[in-house]
Structure 1
């Protein structure tokens, strides 16, 4: 069955409650762009870059696209990030670039290398993995290795209910990277599922170290070689991410909780000490 393409609500039709709930509440440093009456202009996006950065956002116009470059090639060669104005998807992409530039640059280098290898009209397994992560990616930092067995088995009731406190104590934390996930979060009660990379970390290491570890592994071609490297993570099970997940019944029968497919095995996580 063909999936229906998601269409984000118009700016003035967004239910304001979504901005007070994860994941969008975690982006309050861009609150004026998200909750303001008017769309931010391209100049406003570029004003948020730190000094000395090569990349900048440019309006996606027909004249720009006529240069014949692939979207990723344009970024790599000229530092130009084509951005549709008054568009939720591209606004969230800009926010991801501003928060996680190291990850975005590593991903861009890999994507450009694949375009050069297979051509602009073909899609390789690495490109599929890179796109999945770019659109729906999450970096999960685990400081309690025992939780990984629950995830491996798709024991969602165990991961999100029996060990519910792990999500508030720091035993497990999530850094959202996929800009399509942020766009989908504009719709109240939409069930979100991320494509996750897992980092095992000790208690002293912060999330920034885990993000840097992922960026390095991507740049070194140790990650995102195949879509099967990515683990599904039903983000709506995390406390505070869905209004109904405070009830045990949510974790027993919600559609985003899929059973483990026969023969499916996940790769070992990255390790950060």
Structure 2
């Protein structure tokens, strides 16, 4: 494992669990103990635990194995470490995504191309952030690539009317060594104004319950996401205190022109 700066704001949701797990000799076992203590289960009600990659039977799809057994094949690397931490943070959302993937495989088999729904589910699993907002105009600014409004003009509304919560484990892996162009796929979640008065753990529990039904059965396409350069989030990177930070059009790109 490389050194991880757990003080970084994007690790807030997973820092305590991650540090506790790494303090022991076997972080897979430590995270399995945490999952057991929280009574976490797969969509089929199987107790969640993190097992060695070798536990996955030959010719059995990863997603199908997790759904049926609750056992998540986990390699001893950073990518799978963050995957386990997201399972612990958003257990209902992860279980819903897993069940969606497993159901698609059961229906269509493992194919060379995943199809639109599985592509969107994979994108969510790997690289999503939840953009929680109580003001629809902020979500509209994000979708319109209106970076100046979102990050400069409405900067004071961050933490009061909108926030970002990371979900994708590959995204967290990239943020161990952050760079300006790291871009997430934002999933906009409408929240009540009182949401921003809640404790952060309560917010994530609420988000988990909110997104799970959609991930389980609602239509999913890659067009449901909005690109979000995460180092632009106010408070996440010192350089973005300067409005000039957002003038880098190689990162904060203009939106695609709509066809007439």
Task: Quote the residue 2:116 is aligned against.
Answer: 125
5 Å-filtered alignment, 1:67-82, equals 67-82=58-73
- Which consecutive unaligned segments of at least 5 residues does structure 2 have? 41-46
> Which of 177, 182, 189 pairs up with 1:199?
189
Contact 1:139 1:211 survives alignment (8 Å):
no
Contact 1:143 1:203 survives alignment (8 Å):
yes
Deviation at 1:190, TM superposition (A): 4.5
Task: Quote the residue 1:41 is aligned against.
Answer: 27
Find the residue that maps to 1:233 and give its secondary structure.
strand
Deviation at 1:76, TM superposition (A): 0.9
- Is 2:16 the partner of 1:21? no
Pair 1:26–1:210, CA change in 2 (3 A): closer
5 Å-filtered alignment, 1:128-147, equals 128-147=119-138
Deviation at 1:163, TM superposition (A): 1.1
* In 1: Cα distance, 2:116 partner to 2:165 partner: 24
Structure showing the higher helix proportion among its residues: 2
- Is 2:244 the partner of 1:249? yes
Deviation at 1:25, TM superposition (A): 3.9
> Which of 111, 116, 122 pairs up with 2:106?
116
Aligned pairs, number: 244
> Which of 213, 217, 223 pairs up with 2:210?
213
- The superposition leaves residues 30-75 of structure 1 with CA deviations (integer Å, 9 ceiling, x where unpaired) of 2525875x774321121111254411110112xx334421000001
5 Å-filtered alignment, 1:59-74, equals 59-61=52-54, 64-74=55-65
* In 2: Cα distance, 1:51 partner to 1:151 partner: 35
Contact 2:51 2:71 survives alignment (8 Å):
yes
Find the residue that maps to 1:245 and give its secondary structure.
helix
- Which consecutive unaligned segments of at least 5 residues does structure 1 have? 1-9, 265-273
Task: Quote the residue 2:147 is aligned against.
Answer: 156
TM-score by length of 1: 0.82
Q: Name the stretch that deviates more: 112-121 or 204-213.
A: 204-213
* C-alpha RMSD of matched pairs (Å): 2.2
